[in-house]
Amino acid sequence: MNPEKTGLVLEGGGMRGIYTAGVLDVFLEQNIQVDGVIGVSAGAIHGCSFVAGQRERSIRYNLKYCRDPQYMSFRSLLKTGELCGTDFCYHQLPETLDPFDNEAFEASDTDFYVTCTDVETGEPVYKLCETLRGDQIDWVRASASMPLAAHIVELEGRKLLDGGVADSIPVAAFRKMGYKRCVVVATRPMSYRKKPNRMTSLLRRVYRDYPDFVEAMARRHLMYNRQLDEIKRMEDAGEILVIRPSRTSKSTAPSTTRNGSVRCTTWDGRTGSGRWNG
């Protein structure tokens, strides 16, 4: 039994997650294996394809469907309260249009965790997913359900939303689980620091029944920036390896097309590289 398991920590970031998808494709191409993966939001979405060994799947379906209003659109948000079409993204796409390899995922020796936020407590939830069949895919959906852009997901007695609210880059949590040798794939450059949320007043109104969640949202920038500082400390000490973009592209936010779909965000950052000692 390996006392120091190797873990892969995947930050979220919406369409910036395509950067992560590219990194994971290189890992698969080079047959780089880890003992466990923990993903947040988009990191969870792309991480499950990595565990299933489906190289290029994430980039392929994003390029094919990113302009489809069923995939992601403000029209969908206005009509259903969901920016991303739930049936299209979590059923039609993985079951028919670009099938997810459930058999390979379940047979993998790599453990797969998703990070969600418990709306009633404001605390993170780390879920080990042994399968993504049936309603278990909703753990990934919950992890990627952005506040104000998705409905609360109820699973196993919990009310859940985007994992990035409570733990944006769960490297500390993963190390406590025994994954001491962690590779972190970040979606922001080293210089980035998060600013206070300008929509706190709206969040307080919409989630007035969940004060702990609102407070977690209000202080998220403080939590996130502390995480960045600690990740840099661990990186400098040689405790973890971090792969991050060197810069963001000028296009860092989605825009709409005439049919109401969301244009893909481009990302031109470069990955770093490193090697474990020992």
Residue 152: strand, helix, or coil: coil
Per the residue annotation, which of 25, 111, 118, 162 is the catalytic one? Answer: 162
For residues 23 and 58, the answer to whether their CB atoms sit within 8 Å is no
Residue 76: strand, helix, or coil: helix
How distant is the alpha carbon of residue 158 from its chain centre? Answer: 19
Per the residue annotation, which of 41, 73, 76, 145 is the catalytic one? Answer: 41
- Here the tokens at position 115 are 């990070």
For residues 231 and 242, the answer to whether their CB atoms sit within 8 Å is yes
- Listing DSSP states for 226-258 in one string gives HHHHHHHHHHHTTSEEEE--S---S--S--B-T
> Is residue 162 annotated as a catalytic residue, yes or no?
yes
Q: How many whole angstroms separate alpha carbon 48 and alpha carbon 94?
A: 11
- Here the tokens at position 267 are 């990302």
What values do phi and psi take at 138, rounded to 5?
Answer: -70, -15
Instruction: Tell me the catalytic residues.
Output: 41, 162
